[in-house]
Structure 1
Amino acid sequence: MTQQLYLMRHGETLFNSLHRIQGASDSPLTAKGISDAQKVGQYLKAQGITFDHAYASTQERASDTLEYITKQPYERLKGLKEWNFGVFEGQSEVLNPHDDPQRHSYGDFFVQYGGESDVQVQKRMVQTLTEVMERPQHQQVLAVSHGGASFMFLRRWLDWQEVQQRVHFTNCCILQFSYANQQFTFEKTIDALH
């Protein structure tokens, strides 16, 4: 049986609703974020999708989302944390730079301000999730992470044109991947809310 990874973005947070930059900093789930996470849990149950192991970022918004989806035990991993945006943390999203036209991300912009580059985020996400999938008896794995970190993981396995065509990337969406021989293959986006 092919191993499956279900990589989920956390529910809506206070900073999401206020359009604030939220990376290494944290903010709580909104009532909508909680409700949406519960709906995803109900959807997964109705579809018969279960997990033998579950993981979340060490940030509260991710672990809380997971706890609203399932009551099963889980492990928190720092490698699943959101992109660190340095001194831009908590500031208005209007301060975000334009995407690097070659990399289709923020590139190295935040490094000069004490944050991470896109490559650094991608490397730790790939390393963390590969290590998880290499653990014994990991056939159906749920990992709750963040928008920027999940996007950079996805970009490692899917080119930009395919991302634009195939991925609807919202709070509480799930990116489903198959895994074999230390390679992830994007299967589909599960958008249980629409």
Structure 2
Amino acid sequence: MAKTLYLMRHGQTLFNRLKRIQGACDSPLTEQGIASAKRVGQYFQDQQISFDHAYCSTQERASDTLELVTKMPYERLKGIKEWGFGVFEGESEVLNPQPDPVRHNHGDFFLQYGGENDRQVQARVVRTLTKVMERPNHQQVLAVSHAGAIHMFLQKWLTAEEIKQRGIYLGNCAVLKFSFADGQFAFQSIKNWDEQA
């Protein structure tokens, strides 16, 4: 029987609002981010969606979001933290490179500046979430992560063209639903609460 993973992006932060590269550094949730996270929690209640386990990255914006969504106990996982952007952390988003035309993401760009590349991020997120879903009694799981990390996870299961065709946009507090069986994830749906990243 397939299991279900709800993979959520954290709420809007000050750096999101200021259009700054966040990565491994952190900034607090804004009032909008707090309100959106609470709306997600209410949505889960209204839809009678419950979880047997909850996880988030080790970054404060993810744990703060999770605590607004649910009061259940949770575990922090380094494997689902945001893409590390090296010396670009905290700088303006206008410094982000154009996407690699083949890999459809930042590719190797940030490696030369002390950050991670796309394959490193994807490998750790896929490995971490696979181990989570393979644990006993993990039928319906909530995990809160970050846009870059989630995008790389999504690119493992959908092509760039499929992502574009489906109009998938990872706004703050976006919730992606995946089924999991036989070591493989399958994208099911996405729900966005915020229009702006």
Say yes or no: TM over 0.5: yes
Structure-1 separation of matches of 2:169 and 2:91: 25
Structure-2 separation of matches of 1:115 and 1:169: 22
* One-letter amino acid matched to 1:164: K
What is the Cα deviation at residue 193 of structure 1?
5.6
Aligned twin of 2:17: 17
Gapped regions of structure 1 (runs ≥ 5): none
Aligned twin of 2:182: 181
- 1:145 matched to 2:145? The reply is yes
Structure-2 separation of matches of 1:45 and 1:121: 32
What is the Cα deviation at residue 169 of structure 1?
1.6
Aligned twin of 1:94: 94
Gapped regions of structure 2 (runs ≥ 5): none
Assess if the C-alpha contact under 8 Å between 1:174 and 1:191 holds in 2. Answer: yes
SS in 2 for 1:25: coil
Aligned twin of 1:115: 115
SS in 2 for 1:21: coil
Structure-1 separation of matches of 2:164 and 2:94: 22
- 1:122-137 mapped onto 2 (5 Å cutoff): 122-137=122-137
- For each residue in 1:69-120, what CA deviation from the matched residue of structure 2 results, as whole angstroms up to 9, or x when unmatched? 0000000000010000000000000000000010000000000000000000
SS in 1 for 2:4: strand
Aligned twin of 1:159: 159
Structure-2 separation of matches of 1:193 and 1:101: 28
Q: TM-score, normalised by structure 2?
A: 0.96
Assess if the C-alpha contact under 8 Å between 2:122 and 2:156 holds in 1. Answer: yes
Structure-1 separation of matches of 2:192 and 2:17: 19
Q: TM-score, normalised by structure 1?
A: 0.98
Assess if the C-alpha contact under 8 Å between 1:125 and 1:153 holds in 2. Answer: yes
Structure-2 separation of matches of 1:45 and 1:191: 17
Structure-1 separation of matches of 2:75 and 2:137: 15
Structure-1 separation of matches of 2:78 and 2:181: 24
What is the Cα deviation at residue 165 of structure 1?
2.2
- 1:79 matched to 2:74? The reply is no
Paired residues in the alignment total 194
* One-letter amino acid matched to 2:77: L
Assess if the C-alpha contact under 8 Å between 1:40 and 1:193 holds in 2. Answer: no
- For each residue in 1:27-50, what CA deviation from the matched residue of structure 2 results, as whole angstroms up to 9, or x when unmatched? 110010000000010011101111
SS in 2 for 1:107: coil
Q: Percent identity?
A: 65
What is the Cα deviation at residue 162 of structure 1?
1.2
